[in-house]
């Protein structure tokens, strides 16, 4: 079977900074306080014409840098491009964060010494290496919506449909259609795609 390559895209001209995606994510996966797998940021705040908001999480990169630096090799990349990791193997060294262009990996503090715990990041709602939809998988990685054929919760919840996720071709088509509708202005690939997907 030929797998489609899954991608995220957030349309800055549609995002209204409602934080729906990050709240939906935190609730769906019951994330601990202080961890936001998805985060909405606003740049150029107050500058007319330049202010924009966008929603950021792990982009599930092509040739993912995080996977390249992990000293315990706990990452694995699914055939559909989703980048996942094994939290029981992870030692919380922080290297993946240093390598990541998007600041996606986060570290809840754990244990008596308050050391960095196992890394946490967006799974594109695809769970982890444990048995699909098992209690343990849900506890460690959150919901596995992909296995159930559902769209990741952030994109499903986005009221303006700024945040999209899907196979590369469909997402690119929507992107092109929107750029055309706006009169063809704007860059020729979505924000961040050059780094995440090397424009492939």
- Taking the C-alpha atoms of residue 23 and residue 20, their distance in angstroms, rounded to an integer, is 5
Instruction: Say whether residue 58 binds ligand SF4 (CB under 6 A).
Output: yes
SS3 call for 106 = strand
- Taking the C-alpha atoms of residue 36 and residue 154, their distance in angstroms, rounded to an integer, is 12
**Structural contact between residues 116 and 93, judged by C-beta atoms closer than 8 angstroms:** yes
119 vs 146 by CB, closer to another protein: 119
- Best CA proximity match to 164, nearest among 177, 147, 181: 177
- Best CA proximity match to 66, nearest among 36, 95, 38: 95
Instruction: Say whether residue 69 binds ligand HEM (CB under 6 A).
Output: no
Instruction: From the list ligand SF4, another protein, ligand HEM, none, pick the one residue 119 interacts with, judged by a Cβ distance below 5 to 8 Å according to partner type.
Output: ligand SF4
Binding residues among 137-196 for ligand SF4 as defined by CB under 6 A: none
Q: At residue 68, what are phi and psi to the nearest 5 degrees?
A: -70, -30
Instruction: Print the binding letters for residues 16-55 with another protein: x by CB under 8 A, - otherwise.
Output: --------------------x--x-xxx------------
SS3 call for 16 = coil
Instruction: Say whether residue 93 binds ligand HEM (CB under 6 A).
Output: yes
32 vs 94 by CB, closer to ligand HEM: 94
Instruction: From the list ligand HEM, another protein, ligand SF4, none, pick the one residue 58 interacts with, judged by a Cβ distance below 5 to 8 Å according to partner type.
Output: ligand SF4
Find the binder of ligand SF4 among 6, 21, 26, 66 (CB under 6 A).
Answer: 66
């Amino acid at each position: 079977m030929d797998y489609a390559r899954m991608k995220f895209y957030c349309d800055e001209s549609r995002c209204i900074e409602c934080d729906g995606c990050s709240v939906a994510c935190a609730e769906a996966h019951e994330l601990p306080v202080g961890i936001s797998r998805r985060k909405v940021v606003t740049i150029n705040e107050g500058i007319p014409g330049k202010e924009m908001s966008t929603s950021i999480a792990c982009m599930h990169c092509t040739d993912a840098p995080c996977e390249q630096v992990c000293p315990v090799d706990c990452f694995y990349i699914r055939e559909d491009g989703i980048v996942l990791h094994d939290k029981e193997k992870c030692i919380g060294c922080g290297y993946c964060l240093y390598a990541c262009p998007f600041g996606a990996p986060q570290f809840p503090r754990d244990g008596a010494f308050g050391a960095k715990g196992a890394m946490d990041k967006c799974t594109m709602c695809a769970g982890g290496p444990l048995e699909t939809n098992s209690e343990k998988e849900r506890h460690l990685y959150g919901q596995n919506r992909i296995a159930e054929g559902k769209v990741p919760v952030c994109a499903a919840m986005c009221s303006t449909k700024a945040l999209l996720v899907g196979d590369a071709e469909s997402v690119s088509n929507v992107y092109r259609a929107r750029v055309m509708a706006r009169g063809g202005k704007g860059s020729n690939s979505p924000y961040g795609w050059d780094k995440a997907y090397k424009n492939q």
